[in-house]
Structure 1
Amino acid sequence: MDPITKWTPKHVVDWMKGLDDSLQQYVCSFEREKINGEQLLKISHQDLEELGVARIGHQELVLESVDLLCALNYGLETDNLKSLVVKMRASIGNLQNSIASRRNNPSYDGGTSRKPTNDFLTSVVELIGPAKALLAWLDRTPLTGISDFSSTKNKIIQLCLDLTTTVQQDCTVFEMEEKILEVSKILNGICDQTMRTTSDPLKSLCTCVEDVQLTHIRDGEGLGMYIKSTYDGLHVITGTTENSPADRTHKIHAGDEVIQVNHQTVVGWQLKNLVGKLREDPSGVVLLLKKRPTGSSNFTPAPLKNMRWKPPLAQTSPSQSSAQSPSSTMDTSMKKEKPAILDLYIPPPPAVPYTPRDGKGSLHFSGVYKSPLKPKGLESPNSFLDQESRRRFTIADYDHLGVSPIEASLLPTKMRGRSQCHG
């Protein structure tokens, strides 16, 4: 995989064409100004203003997607659990030092009520970033097999929300700083707990990328992958169909992130555009997957690892089969392994015949419910996706839902202060 800093303006344009529909109006501006990969990774709000991206919601969408590219470009070979904890501790230390420095200033007046300075807000933001990165790492196989991390992740989400709300509250400077110090102290304790709970191999092993080629796809046979978009805008494989092309490779597992499809980077893309890329060549697909470390031999893997389903049979009548359905089996397993299962929700197999391709080689994906009025090509390949997975959640949105990921699928998508047009 070539570094994103080496992208040409054409690479940037091709990547932007997969982003949110509301951003397509700006593609021509990026093309006209010949923005390359290095410029893209350093792009700022002011740069976007000059490119004609005036709406704050649209700027946020671009910058969030660029953040994903930055993480992919700079952290792919270096990030591991230990390094992420170190970064988070460093950010906590910087924030605490910032507060101590303010209080040592002779002109400091903690009894006044005023907005925090830009430097102070920057320190808070620089703590939330590593916290989100650590949260994303804990939310992947095999760490989903450690039940203790379920509560840890919830704490991180709540504490990050506390940080963002505290700096907006109407209180004295001293009270605000005390609340921030309390949150940072708890986050520091989470760092210690995480390192104690995790086995040595999982602390130091980095992610790796692997090419997987799906070929010899027969008519009437799909790729056999179940894909779900995470809260942070990544596309994660949640399982494969038994004996499908994806399953036969023995290289695709739950928790793998789809980085490229046919050599096109799809990080930050809309799900429907990822689908279109997967459908591009009926004869096969080349995937680049980002894989997390699998741990040591004595580590108990997450129950999601290597999850496979048998292709469902057509049902002529709901009452004809008395056997336990896949969904009921999954419900039973969730009662036994609820904390781990809920960390990465695997949707059940589709309840209709699995016929993703027609005789002409066109794909028809049965992993989603279809509507006769829905334009062809918007459904996800071999996946059963909830409406909320088409957009990404912020940390604050995730907390406001107040329900588990499975229950959240029944609720409408809630975005951070954005309208439907992302304005």
Structure 2
Amino acid sequence: MAGRIETLIRSNRLRLALATGMAALGLWAFAPYVTSEVGGEAYVNAPIIRMASPIPGIVAADLPPPGTAIAATRTARLVTARILDTGPLAALKGQQAALISARDLARRQIAEIETADARLASRSARFGRAASARLAATTAAAREALAGCQAEAAEAALQRERVEVLAQQRFATFTQRDRVRAVASAAQFRCAALGDQADALAIETKAAGHGLYLAGAAMDAPYGDQQRDRLLLRRQELENVVADADSRLAQLAIQVAAETERLARASAFDAQLPAGTVVWSQPAPKGTTVAPGASLIELADCNRRYVEVALPERRMEAIMPGTRVAVRLIGSDAWLNGQVASTVGAAARRDGAMLAANPDKAARDLSVLVSLPPPASLARRCDVGRLAEVRFPRW
């Protein structure tokens, strides 16, 4: 058995196979560095979302602590106000109450005016009917008196003719003749006056049919209609009061809503914590008093995480935005597909105040930012600060 093993070991075929395998293993291990360029120092980074307080108040006690993963968008109360000035809102509501009271009073007065107007309208209608009936009766009496006068005038005319004949025959004196003439003339004038009076009554009756009453020559409308005219003017004034109150109440409603919204914003600061973020730091401790503009909480945006790679400056022309690269986090066997987002020159000015990770960078290094897909889990703070291996295509 030992001889066979020794013969196998001394076999040229085995030695050739072993040498070929070791050479293939070396080529396989060295192939990635031939086909692609491996970046130097690389680490995962993410932008910071900083939330500041817009109002003075006290930091909420249930503020999420650093390291909390925000898997779904939710609203959290960050600051609670200490003292609120509700004076302007109370003044606006006082104006509302006064306007509502004035408007309701005007509406009640309008209702009372409408009741009085209906009563006066009924009274005027009854007056019109009574006045028309009285005028009709007076007109009939005037025409009857005219008919009687005309009969008397006809009799006086016959009497005058007979006396004229007797006076010509010397059976009547001239004095009797003159008296009879005067009686006949008086009868004619009286009949003419009664005719004019009947015509005047006919005119008044016709005018009354159109609502005009000419008796007394003082007013063309009865007292009820005159009162209705005054009530109409008063109702128009009250309607203007109601319309003005409604307009001002509409404006006050807008102002009250705006003031209520302002007080709601001033009473507390509720912010939406976006999904896919991790609470990175909490500059303001819970329960402390903060002023407007004070930083409350900082979130690392894991949806926009990227790998920052340091490369020699001579590679500036070869690395173009949009280039596909392979990224592997140190300690993991999985390779991620990344894409070059931008390149930053070695001497370019850089502000790392809004970044989760900000290590020192050599003065001669080129910074390449490679975007990564969102992480499957937020448990490890999106792997921010974790070192990575990045392979760039060489050709």
Q: State the TM bucket, normalised to the shorter chain.
A: under 0.3
Q: Per residue, is there more helix in 1 or in 2?
A: 2
Q: Per residue, is there more strand in 1 or in 2?
A: 2
TM superposition score normalised by structure 1: 0.19
TM superposition score normalised by structure 2: 0.20
Which has the bigger relative contact order, CA under 8 A and spacing at least 6?
2
Which of the pair has more CA radius of gyration?
A: 2
